[in-house]
Amino acid sequence: MSQTIISVENISKKYNINTKRIGDQEYSSLRVSLTNAITLPLKFISGNYKNSKKVKKEFWALRNISFEVEEGKVIGIIGRNGAGKSTLLKILSQITEPTEGEIKIRGRVASLLEIGTGFHPELTGRENVFLNGAILGMTNSEIKQKFDEIIDFAEVDNFVDTPVKRYSSGMYLRLAFAVAAHLEPEILLVDEVLAVGDAQFQKKCLEKMEGVAKQNRTVLFVSHNLNAVQVLCKQVIHIDQGKIVNVGDPNSVISNYLSQVTNLRNEVVWDENNAPGNDMVKLLSIKIQSKRGLHKGVYSSKEDIFVIIEFNLSFRNSSLCIGFDLVSSDGVTILRSFHTDGYLDNWPELKQGRNCFVCTIPNSFLNSGLFYISPKIKNHTTSVWLVNLDSIIQFEVLLDHGVSPFWNNVNNNNKPGKLAPIFEWNSL
């Protein structure tokens, strides 16, 4: 009989946010701070200086979270950005303390919450493996026993004695994951490890976590990759605004999550001050529309569907990939498309300021059903996601392109599968 290895009882986490208020506006960006550093002395001299004061705000990242995890279970945790998923894992890994509540953990915990957590940039890969292993509570002999396997998995054989500050982000991630996954903790906490890295490495990570689960070890897995959550997890916890809103089998929880998170929207627009991205790129809007320019939620399979992504660049940049994931109603990623697809070189130019790209999902491609769009922006030179949002656009397709009478008779006019293309057939 399985025993409870993690018990979380009424956990809450509060943060105090201090912002500086001048007049009626809050200032927190680097640009504004630099501007103030220059202009405030001049305002003081001219007598136009206004006193500033700090405004203290309370933000509850988690509120009254309670659940139990049985030994050997793989639990997925999903939710929108800012829902509290990462905060929960940081509390479980004892990086931060809860404001309220109690946690009971039986067994040794290994965490992979950020790239290179616990690594020292001046130390070599070899030294960091031993350092990180010791932090995780492993003995020197245990680390030596697993060392070759860790290095082989991370694919850094030729750089094992190189300081990790010279590693690429991909090498950093591979080594960090390899250490956490190979040192055999009873509990493994993983936060978005699949958000960075190439497809081959992501496949290795999935296979490794499947192996960890089969060894009767416990895994808590936070990810926006809903397909990976479905493959790995037997149970999923959906967190929204710091609270648990649903717990159950992956299919039902993910389906409910997608229906809630999109709320039938076919256009999302952000103000540049709070737009997703960073100082280099800001996602300003994403929408779908028909050939006639109608922003609607239901499309016939006979018509093209246009995905329009608008973003702002602070400077010209040729290394960004702008795109999206197309996701089915059960959380399966059907495809990923970037504006650079089909180009070996001479990618479409991204100019400073506002840019807009349109992707066409051709008619007679999708089957009937609900579909979701998840916007993505990445830097192809580092494989780091700059924008990696949940499914925020929803639309429905109705099958209406002359299917065979066979489907009308036996399957309610619906073909099986997510796609329903019309291929060309010829007799020979």
Looking at residue 414, its pLDDT comes to 62
pTM of the model: 0.61
Classify residue 420: in a domain, yes or no: no
Residue 13 phi/psi, 5-degree rounding, is -135, 120
The Cα 399–Cα 215 span in angstroms is 45
Sheet containing 305-313, strands listed edge to edge, beginning at the edge strand earlier in sequence: 267-269, 281-289, 305-313, 353-361
Residues 256 and 167 in one domain: yes
Residues 52 and 183 in one domain: no
Residues 27 and 77 in one domain: no
Q: At 138, list the tokens.
A: 């492993």
Looking at residue 31, its pLDDT comes to 53
Classify residue 10: in a domain, yes or no: no
Residues 47 and 87 in one domain: no
Kindly state the DSSP code that residue 98 receives in the 8-state scheme: -
Residues 73 and 43 in one domain: no
Classify residue 8: in a domain, yes or no: no
Looking at residue 24, its pLDDT comes to 46
User: Residues 6 or more apart from 204 whose CB is under 8 A from it?
Assistant: 153
Strand bridging mode 218-222 / 74-78: parallel
For the four alpha carbons of 82, 88, 89 and 95, in that order, the dihedral sign comes to: positive
| C-alpha 10, offset from chain centre | 26
Looking at residue 305, its pLDDT comes to 94
Domain boundary among 261, 295, 319: 261
C-alpha distance from residue 58 to each of 9, 14, 70, 90 (Å): 22, 7, 34, 19
Q: At 155, list the tokens.
A: 């694919």
Nearest Cα residue to 263 out of 240, 227, 295, 297: 297
C-alpha distance from residue 143 to each of 37, 146, 266 (Å): 50, 5, 51
Residues 28 and 41 in one domain: yes
Classify residue 295: in a domain, yes or no: yes
Do residues 197 and 173 touch, judged by C-beta distance below 8 A? Answer: yes
| C-alpha 162, offset from chain centre | 30
CATH code where residue 380 lies: 2.70.50.60
The Cα 390–Cα 372 span in angstroms is 9
Ranges of H-type helices in 17-139 = 30-46, 85-92, 125-135
Classify residue 417: in a domain, yes or no: no
Angle subtended at Cα 268 by Cα 399 and Cα 372, rounded to the nearest 5 degrees: 35
Strand bridging mode 384-388 / 369-379: antiparallel
Classify residue 31: in a domain, yes or no: yes
Q: What is the pLDDT along the chain (428 residues), one digit of tens a residue?
A: 678 999 999 999 998 876 555 444 444 455 555 566 666 565 555 555 555 555 667 889 999 999 999 988 899 999 887 889 989 998 998 888 999 999 999 888 877 776 556 688 899 999 999 988 887 777 889 899 999 999 998 888 999 999 988 987 778 878 887 887 787 778 888 887 655 556 677 777 777 777 777 787 888 988 877 777 887 888 999 999 999 999 999 888 887 787 665 455 788 999 988 899 998 999 999 999 988 887 778 888 888 999 999 999 998 877 889 999 999 887 888 999 999 887 766 777 788 999 999 999 999 999 888 899 999 999 877 767 899 988 889 898 877 655 555 554 444 456 778 888 888 888 88
Do residues 5 and 71 touch, judged by C-beta distance below 8 A? Answer: yes
Looking at residue 292, its pLDDT comes to 82
- Domain ranges, residue 212: 60-261
Classify residue 218: in a domain, yes or no: yes
Residues 400 and 361 in one domain: yes
Looking at residue 22, its pLDDT comes to 47
Looking at residue 25, its pLDDT comes to 47
CATH code where residue 233 lies: 3.40.50.300
Residues 51 and 64 in one domain: no
Kindly state the DSSP code that residue 124 receives in the 8-state scheme: B
Residues 132 and 21 in one domain: no
Total number of domains constituting the chain:
3
For the four alpha carbons of 189, 194, 198 and 203, in that order, the dihedral sign comes to: positive
| C-alpha 106, offset from chain centre | 29
Residues 318 and 399 in one domain: yes
Classify residue 167: in a domain, yes or no: yes
Residues 95 and 224 in one domain: yes
User: What phi-psi label fits residue 23: left (phi over 0), alpha (psi between -120 and 50 degrees) or beta?
Assistant: left
Residues 25 and 126 in one domain: no
C-alpha distance from residue 168 to each of 121, 162, 222, 303 (Å): 12, 12, 24, 44
- Burial profile 279-290: b = 16 or more Cβ within 10 angstroms, e = fewer: eebbbbebbbbe
